[in-house]
Chains A and B, each alone.
Chain A
Amino acid sequence: GDSVTQMEGPVTLSEEAFLTINCTYTATGYPSLFWYVQYPGEGLQLLLKATKADDKGSNKGFEATYRKETTSFHLEKGSVQVSDSAVYFCGTGHNAGNMLTFGGGTRLMVKP
């Protein structure tokens, strides 16, 4: 089955800093790739996704590019805000299957 590896947190940044959260995966075939975000006290929400190589998913200033050659889907944001403090999960999914596989999550803490 698939496996997803994320950088361990917590990641602590000052407001307006540049963010990168690394994510690499192993999978058979060509999975879709996802980032989910979990704000404090809330459920997971889909942040962005990419379905094929070189696709870029983007939402709320966050971006991630599907890199097949490096099997990576790193999450980036140019200027983080305090409100971005949350746990971020990278995941894979397949057309032929239904289960998403998630990484362990990375906690982001943004200080004013």
Chain B
Amino acid sequence: GAGVSQSPSNKVTEKGKDVELRCDPISGHTALYWYRQRLGQGLEFLIYFQGNSAPDKSGLPSDRFSAERTGESVSTLTIQRTQQEDSAVYLCASSLGQGSNGYTFGSGTRLTVV
């Protein structure tokens, strides 16, 4: 597609439920990233995929968080047993590979855990 697409744009869920967030990167972009942005705070790296290599999961805050990517296409970020502190905007970005090229970001999914 023309840009990075994320869905849903907004999600309200009850504490303890699982949620799944989706990201469609730009076609041909081999690298895909997930970041989290809590209210009033900066960007927190979560996970990064590069082609068929093993993902860099070093930023995932707990084992309730996981992400998958099929080849160089769609990625899903899953949060199990959501907690109120998971409330944030979850941003996805893709790039042609090297971090020095910068990213193209999606508009994010705003997750609210009540």
Contacts and interface: CB of A to CB of B under 8 A. Distances in A.
Nearest to A106: B42
Given A102-B43, A105-B42, A43 B98 contact: no
Contacts of B45: 99, 101
B80 interface: no
A43 B100 contact: no
Interface residues of B, number: 26
Interface stretch (B11-19, B60-68, B105-113): B105-113
Nearest to A100: B99
B105 A98 contact: no
Main secondary structure of the interface of A (DSSP, over half): loop
A97 B102 contact: no
Interface residues on A, range: 20 to 34
Contacts of A69: none
Contacts, number: 65
Contact of B42 (A42, A89, A99): A89
20 contacts: A32-B99, A32-B100, A44-B43, A44-B91, A44-B105, A46-B104, A89-B42, A93-B99, A93-B100, A94-B100, A95-B99, A98-B31, A98-B50, A99-B33, A100-B99, A100-B103, A101-B45, A102-B35, A104-B42, A105-B43
Pairs of residues from A and B, 9 with the lowest C-beta to C-beta distance, nearest first: A93-B99, A104-B42, A32-B100, A43-B107, A44-B105, A102-B43, A43-B105, A98-B99, A95-B100
Interface of B: 4, 31, 33, 35, 41-43, 45, 48, 50, 56, 91, 93, 95, 97-108
Interface of A: 31-32, 34, 36, 42-46, 49, 51, 89, 93-95, 97-105
